[in-house]
Amino acid sequence: MKNRISSHSDNEAIHNEKENIPSNTSGNRPFSDVLKVNQTRRNVLVGSLATAATTFIAPKAFAFGWPQDKPSHKYPGKKGLVGFEPLSIEDAIIDNTVPSIASEYQYQVLIPWGTPIEPGATEAYDGNPFTRPTSEQACRQIGIGHDGMWFFPHRGRHRFDRYGFYYSNRKGMLCINHEFGRNNHVLGKDAPESLEDVRLSQNVHGVSVVALKSNYNGQWRVVKSPNSRRITVNTPVEFSGPAAKSKLLQNPNGNTALGTVNNCGSGPTPWGTYLTCEENFNGYFGATEGEIFNDSRTEEQLRYGFDFDGFNYGWEFFDKRFDLSDPDYINESNRFGWVVEIDPHDGTQKPVKRTALGRFKHEAIAIAESSTGQIAAYMGDDQRFDYCYKYVSDKPWKQAIKEGKSPLDEGRLFVARFDDDGTGEWLELTINNPILAERFYDQGELLIYARIAADLLGATPMDRPEWTTIGKDGEIYWTLTNNSNRTEPNAANPEAPNNDGHIIRMKDDYLGTYFKWEIFILASSTRETEGVFTDPDAAYADPFGRLFIGTDGGQPDGLQDQLVVFDTTAENPEPKRLLTGVNSDEITGYTVTPDFRTAFINIQHPGNGNPESTNFPAPTDGVTIPRDCTLVITRKDGGIIGS
């Protein structure tokens, strides 16, 4: 059955209808007001942004884990930057129970939910509707809700050059987020009935670190590694940075810090670690005292969207940590909403929550390195009318590491104000600002309630900032997925409601407080074209000038969520469709091998777990539970992905 109407049933809205309710009541000028003005200036700005490049600090490298600034294949591909024959709408909608891919490309399914991780693996979960893994088994299996990820290639000494290294295109560690899995999908019922049910739900969330290898035919598989591991809601973690010692991160009963949840997007660091971003953490908390809790919520609880029944995971009924009514765990909820650093090459490392990056609904993170060696990290807070942030390290990252410090612990956090004239200012979230010193007693508290600090500084409310990525010339792309609640159009969001979303391109003085911005594309401008796409979400820019966008939301013309590719160097960049997913899924995550010839993307929540919708990746049988999985994408001719 083809849905020819664009329903815009945003998958995350299905995940949580409550996320439609903005929690920003600061009254800051909506970004839409700004865009109304700027939109009319688009052509002027495209030119000015392009020619302004020399006034900005050129990036030295783009990350990560391997030297992307020196790709081994400068050659952009036989057919030009984005020369492939795109998947047509007609071909894409023939069968929505399986993915469709452009004719020059092919895919392989990898690591569906339930795949055993070595060592210590138990049996696989294969989607059998009559059973589920035990919580114990889930700890040694790939989780659900595949989202942000990064491939960390195996690094070896170069065979011919004893001073050099090579980065493998066939072997490495994949870090992958398991954002969410609803009770119906994971447990096969609406609500948990025991602590064991809750533990299973918790153990399919988190992150997997898994060793992968391909054979000479390009077939990838999971291999054994001492560093393969699952990180779940119950894995010991530690805090670092200015808020680490805050009493707001301690509970009266003194329980140790455990776990990560709703791991959405991600980003690699230049020093080879993985950053996973905790997004809709609020929904995993509930209050056993029900409405009594709702009537007594603090300003902070309201601003972060806490509610007595959360997203109805029901963990609070069996695990007191997630019960907002329990005074023993009064600050447990402050322990989530962070960027968490994971070492893919050390299976014993405790994941570290980096408080200097602030607490909000972290979507993803992209790091640029300035010519000074300091880093600038760009991060969106994905909620209607929430903000764009950046973090700048105090020291060059290599120096910080040499001194035994993390470049993510000492630095400054900023929030963006977008001005009408295509410029903007980064407003620093610091206790040295008297406005913030009046509200917060120290920098730790300020960072724990970063949203409130940003409200006070007059940041610009945006149309749901999702991923960020750093382009070929060091520019930053921000996906703004949609905002059905916007009532007044304006410059950077010219549509009210903003049903289709848009992408902003920013040129930033990485270390400073000034930036320029322009609209890269309004998704609505692609309607009525063969390349139509809406609801941009996941983003990855390669060093050649390609921009890969994964979508999350009802697509027009009967299309399922998509992976589209732009040539960002074109005067009028147009999306080319590389792949579409299956019914009710989302296309997210993107990573590549160092030769750019193998890409990985994720099929998230296929069929929303409903076997009558799709059984992917199992063959269609109408009963097997669909499972989140990764697709390995290659060009049939072995060329560079996107070409």
- CA dist 75 and 582 (Å) reads 33
**Min dist. Cβ of residue 177 to ligand FEO (A):** 9
- Between 71 and 497, whose beta carbon lies closer to Ca ion? 497
Closest residue to Ca ion using C-beta atoms:
552
**From 5-13, 132-140, 169-177, 251-259, span contacting Ca ion (CB under 5 A):** 5-13
Q: Considering Cα of 270, then 562, then 214, then 120, what sign does the dihedral take?
A: positive
- Between 429 and 587, whose beta carbon lies closer to Ca ion? 587
Torsion angles phi and psi, residue 267, rounded to 5: -170, 145
- CA dist 145 and 604 (Å) reads 5
**Min dist. Cβ of residue 61 to ligand FEO (A):** 27
**Min dist. Cβ of residue 536 to Ca ion (A):** 9
Per DSSP, the residues of 457-501 read HTPPPEE-EEEEEE-TTS-EEEEE--BTT--S--BSS--SSB-S-
- CA dist 264 and 468 (Å) reads 13
- 10, 33, 279, 326: which one binds ligand FEO (CB under 6 A): 279
- CA dist 419 and 625 (Å) reads 48
List % helix, strand, coil for the chain (3-state, nearest 5).
Answer: 20, 30, 50
Query: Does the footprint of Ca ion cover residue 12 (CB under 5 A)?
Result: yes
Residue 349: CB atoms within 10 A of its CB come to: 17
- Between 606 and 639, whose beta carbon lies closer to ligand FEO? 606
- 495, 537, 561, 585: which one binds Ca ion (CB under 5 A): 537
**Min dist. Cβ of residue 413 to Ca ion (A):** 22
- Between 112 and 550, whose beta carbon lies closer to ligand FEO? 550
Query: Does the footprint of ligand FEO cover residue 495 (CB under 6 A)?
Result: no
Query: Does the footprint of ligand FEO cover residue 363 (CB under 6 A)?
Result: yes
Q: State the binding string over 466-485 for ligand FEO (x if CB under 6 A, else -).
A: x-------------------
Query: Does the footprint of ligand FEO cover residue 278 (CB under 6 A)?
Result: no
Torsion angles phi and psi, residue 524, rounded to 5: -60, -25
- 552, 561, 585, 628: which one binds Ca ion (CB under 5 A): 552
Query: Does the footprint of Ca ion cover residue 500 (CB under 5 A)?
Result: no
The listed partner (ligand FEO, Ca ion, none) that binds 279, CB under 5 to 8 Å by sort, is ligand FEO
Query: Does the footprint of ligand FEO cover residue 12 (CB under 6 A)?
Result: yes
Query: Does the footprint of ligand FEO cover residue 601 (CB under 6 A)?
Result: no
Query: Does the footprint of Ca ion cover residue 542 (CB under 5 A)?
Result: no
**Min dist. Cβ of residue 277 to ligand FEO (A):** 8
Closest to 313 in 3D by CA, of 198, 207, 204: 198
**Token pair for 394:** 């105090």
- Between 409 and 537, whose beta carbon lies closer to ligand FEO? 537
The listed partner (Ca ion, ligand FEO, none) that binds 628, CB under 5 to 8 Å by sort, is none
Residue 75 contacts residue 483 (beta carbons within 8 Å) = no
- Between 382 and 542, whose beta carbon lies closer to ligand FEO? 382
- Between 305 and 545, whose beta carbon lies closer to Ca ion? 305
Query: Does the footprint of Ca ion cover residue 409 (CB under 5 A)?
Result: no
**Min dist. Cβ of residue 152 to ligand FEO (A):** 22
- CA dist 277 and 379 (Å) reads 9
Query: Does the footprint of ligand FEO cover residue 264 (CB under 6 A)?
Result: yes
**Min dist. Cβ of residue 16 to ligand FEO (A):** 10
Q: Considering Cα of 98, then 102, then 104, then 105, what sign does the dihedral take?
A: negative
Termini Cα distance of the chain:
33
**Min dist. Cβ of residue 585 to ligand FEO (A):** 14
Query: Does the footprint of Ca ion cover residue 307 (CB under 5 A)?
Result: no
The listed partner (Ca ion, ligand FEO, none) that binds 386, CB under 5 to 8 Å by sort, is none
**Min dist. Cβ of residue 494 to Ca ion (A):** 20
Residue type, 461: P
Query: Does the footprint of ligand FEO cover residue 179 (CB under 6 A)?
Result: yes
- Between 12 and 561, whose beta carbon lies closer to ligand FEO? 12
- CA dist 140 and 591 (Å) reads 23
The burial of 558, by beta-carbon neighbours within 10 Å (0-12 exposed, 13-18 middle, 19 or more buried), is given as middle
- CA dist 56 and 382 (Å) reads 27
- Between 382 and 463, whose beta carbon lies closer to ligand FEO? 382
Query: Does the footprint of Ca ion cover residue 561 (CB under 5 A)?
Result: no
Closest residue to ligand FEO using C-beta atoms:
264
Torsion angles phi and psi, residue 401, rounded to 5: -65, -40
List alpha helices for 359-449, DSSP H.
397-402, 434-439, 443-448
- Between 406 and 469, whose beta carbon lies closer to ligand FEO? 469
Orientation angle between helical segments 42-51 and 31-39, nearest 10 degrees: 90
**Min dist. Cβ of residue 465 to ligand FEO (A):** 9
- Between 180 and 397, whose beta carbon lies closer to ligand FEO? 180
**Token pair for 217:** 């035919």
Closest to 206 in 3D by CA, of 360, 355, 340: 340
Per DSSP, the residues of 23-74 read ---S-PPPHHHHHHHHHTTHHHHHHHHHHGGGGSPPPS----SS-TTS-S--
The listed partner (Ca ion, ligand FEO, none) that binds 381, CB under 5 to 8 Å by sort, is none
**Min dist. Cβ of residue 462 to ligand FEO (A):** 12
Run of H or E residues at 453:
helix 450-457
Task: Please give the residues from 97 up to 136 whose contact with ligand FEO meets the rule CB under 6 A.
Answer: none
Query: Does the footprint of ligand FEO cover residue 382 (CB under 6 A)?
Result: yes
- CA dist 538 and 586 (Å) reads 10
# residues near Ca ion by CB under 5 A:
5
- CA dist 547 and 524 (Å) reads 18
- Footprint of ligand FEO (CB under 6 A): 12, 179, 264, 279, 363, 382, 466
Residue ranges binding Ca ion (CB under 5 A): 12, 466, 481, 537, 552
